[in-house]
Amino acid sequence: MRVVLLGPPGVGKGTQGRRLASERGWALISTGEMLREAVSQATPLGLEARRRMDRGELVPDDVMIGLIRERTQQADAAHGFVLDGFPRTVPQADALETMLEERGQRVDAVALLQTSEEEVVRRLSERWECPVCQKAYGLEAPPRVRGRCDEHPIAALIQRADDAPETVRRRLEVYRRQTEPLVEYYRKLGRLREVPGTGSVDEVFGFLKRALNGAAART
């Protein structure tokens, strides 16, 4: 199954996507993660992307589409994947439809995670990440030991540069203007599943699975 996770920054796409992918044996494809990796390695992509990411703006569509075209063809994605952070614009969604169609595939379901804007801002300001495995911790999912990753206790948790309040506001604006139109886009295609994003990580995961099981039964 190929699933897209849609929703504003901080709603829990990364956390839920990671869990879903590992439970089902699918690849987790997070474009934000791929870009952060490129930035930390100072690759040409990283150098190009960094300025925009730091400002909370989007990286150009053609760059992102090329990245996803390659990544979705890797062996670990053959049995299914979860997309976290892609598509983020209508041209990206169109390109995804076309590239999958060329391979006789399609996006089976789009899970829209929803919560209030205050909740998103609150969560982002409390979000901490492991620099080794990128696992996210926050109010709903604190680490066992304060400031340390459960799996890599040697590494001190860090905050993402783009989680600074000013950049968060900009990212939310960008979401509303450029990404939110995808809600109607996928609703019209009959693939949208609305998932409440408020509650504990376990609760939201339960809602997500229920929404996807419904999608699988309908396809």
Q: Closest residue to ligand AMP, Cβ-based?
A: 32
Q: Point out which span in 39-47, 48-56, 112-120, 192-200 binds ligand AMP (CB under 6 A).
A: 48-56
For 19, phi then psi, to 5°, come to -70, -45
For 44, phi then psi, to 5°, come to -55, -40
**Which CB, 54 or 184, lies closer to ligand AMP?**
54
Residues marked as catalytic: 13, 88, 127, 160, 171
Least distance CB 176 / ligand AMP (angstroms): 13
Q: Point out which span in 39-47, 51-59, 150-158, 207-215 binds ligand AMP (CB under 6 A).
A: 51-59
Could you give the strand order of the β-sheet that contains 27-30, starting from the edge strand earlier in sequence? 27-30, 81-84, 2-6, 109-114, 192-196
Least distance CB 28 / ligand AMP (angstroms): 12
Q: Point out which span in 55-63, 97-105, 131-139, 187-195 binds ligand AMP (CB under 6 A).
A: 55-63
State which of residues 7, 12, 32, 197 lies at the interface with ligand AMP (CB under 6 A).
Answer: 32
**Could you give the angle at which helices 165-174 and 117-125 cross, rounded to 10 degrees?**
140
Per DSSP, the three-state class of 203 is helix
Distance CA 60, CA 168 (A): 19
Distance CA 194, CA 129 (A): 27
Least distance CB 177 / ligand AMP (angstroms): 13
Q: What angle do CA 178, 114, 20 make, to 5 degrees?
A: 100
For ligand AMP, the binding residues in 59-88 under the rule CB under 6 A are 59, 64, 85-86, 88
The residues of the shown chain that bind ligand AMP, judged by CB under 6 A, are 9, 31-32, 35, 52-53, 56-59, 64, 85-86, 88, 92, 162, 171
